[in-house]
Structure formats: C-alpha cells, structure tokens
C-alpha cells in the first residue's frame, strides 16, 4: 500500500475542515436544555477541622463570627448554590444547618450521605420491641461520627436535649395535629417501612 504525501497547506486545510465539522456537529447536537444552567442537587458534609488558610479567605466576612461558633465539628451541613448574584460571582456557596446559613468558598470538608432528616424535624422515637421508651421530640442536632461512620441524632423533648444519641432506624417522621407531613418527610416514612 502506497502512502500519500501531504504538504503543509493540505494538512492545514484538512484540520480546518475537521474543526468546522466538529463545530457544526456540536451546534446541531445542542438543545435548549444544554444551554440552561445546570442545577446541582444539595450535598451534605462536615468540617472536622479548619483549613490551614485564615477564615477570611474561605468564609464570607459577614459570616465569620457565626461560622466560628458552629465550625469545626461533626454537624452535618447541606451545601447549596448561593442565591445572591454577587456572592455567586465571587464563588460563594451556602452551607445550612437548620435555620443557619453560612456563605463559604470551596474548602476542606468530608462529604456524607444524606439521610433526609433536618434539624427541627419532629420525630417519633420507636419502642423497638420494648427496648426503648417511645416518645415524640424534635431533632436538635445531626452529627457525623467518623469512628463509627454513622449519623447520630440528638433529640429535644420539652425544651431539653437528651444526652442519648439516636440513629435513623430509632425513629420516624411525626406530624403535628392538623399539619400534614411534608413530601420529604413522607418519602422518609415510606422508605423506613420497606
């Protein structure tokens, strides 16, 4: 088989044709859904220690005081996109824990699986075949234990946080009289029954 010699001009023309063909294919394959911004699902994680950089380099200046009260530790935060346009342009995301929201830049954190429960959720602690006393309370803390690699919950009853740590299999969502469960709580309840 004989190889064909191609000069530089011919090589450049072939590369240009190939580039143009790829560009046309890319444009033809794109749809309106690919041009719209991608919405990322919330992620969950913990900050077990401070990054080596100063807090002002990764926490929004207005949120440093709040962050120093909650971080580091085993609290499981939910990471979301920042709603404020100016903060988005600066690269900030929001981490939330219950009603608390802190704006942060990407930093060192350990990603953990979401159990679906949130601080403030009302739960019914199950009797578990008589091994524990059933009661109704509110999730006061949600923490990740790195040793057991499990999510632990502290439950508040009558304005007192119990010392015992509970796991997701120890309770289920509970509604208040006249207030139906949210869609998220219904999904958790359906999942625990399976």
Q: Which of 177, 141, 174, 173 is nearest to 156 (CA)?
A: 141
94 near 80, Cβ under 8 Å? yes
pLDDT the model gives residue 32: 46
Is the pLDDT reported for residue 176 higher than 90? no
> Which 3 state secondary structure label does DSSP give 60?
coil
Identify how many contiguous H helices and E strands the chain contains and give both numbers: 5, 10
In contact, 161 and 140? CB cutoff 8 Å: yes
User: Percentage of the chain surpassing pLDDT 90?
Assistant: 22
Residue 71: the pLDDT is: 86
Average pLDDT, the chain: 79
What is the C-alpha end-to-end distance of the chain, expressed in Å?
67
Q: What is the pLDDT of residues 79-137, one digit of tens each?
A: 888 888 888 888 888 889 988 999 888 777 788 888 889 999 999 898 888 788 888 89
Lowest mean pLDDT among 29-38, 67-76, 93-102: 29-38
pLDDT at 177 over 70: no
Contact in structure between 169 and 191 (CB atoms under 8 Å): no
pTM for the model = 0.64
Distances (CA, A) of 146 to 2, 14, 43, 45, 143: 66, 57, 18, 12, 10
Check the CA dihedral 83-84-89-95 and report its sign: negative
Using the predicted structure, report yes or no on whether residue 162 has a pLDDT greater than 90: yes
Q: In the predicted model, what is the mean pLDDT of residues 146-154?
A: 92
Write the CB contacts of 82 (distance below 8 Å, at least 6 apart in sequence). Answer: 88, 92, 93, 94, 103
Residue 144 CB neighbour total at 10 angstroms: 20
| pLDDT at 115 (0 to 100) | 87
């Amino acid at each position: 088989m004989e190889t064909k010699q191609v000069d530089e001009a011919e090589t450049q023309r072939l590369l240009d044709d190939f580039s143009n063909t790829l560009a046309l294919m890319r444009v033809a394959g794109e749809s309106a859904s690919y041009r719209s911004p991608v919405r990322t699902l919330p992620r969950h994680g913990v900050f077990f220690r401070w990054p080596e950089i100063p807090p002002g380099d990764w926490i929004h200046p207005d949120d440093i005081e709040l962050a120093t009260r909650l971080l580091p530790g085993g609290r499981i935060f939910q990471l979301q996109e920042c709603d404020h346009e100016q903060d988005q342009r600066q690269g900030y995301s929001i981490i939330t824990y219950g009603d608390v929201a802190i704006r942060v830049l990407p930093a060192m954190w350990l990603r953990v699986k979401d159990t679906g429960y949130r601080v403030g959720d009302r739960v019914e602690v199950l009797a578990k075949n008589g091994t524990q006393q059933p009661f109704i309370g509110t999730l006061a803390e949600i923490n990740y234990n790195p040793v057991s690699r499990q999510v632990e919950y502290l439950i508040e009853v009558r304005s007192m946080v119990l010392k015992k740590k509970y796991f997701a299999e120890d309770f289920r969502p509970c509604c208040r009289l006249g207030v139906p469960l949210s869609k998220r709580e219904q999904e958790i309840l359906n999942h625990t029954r399976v």
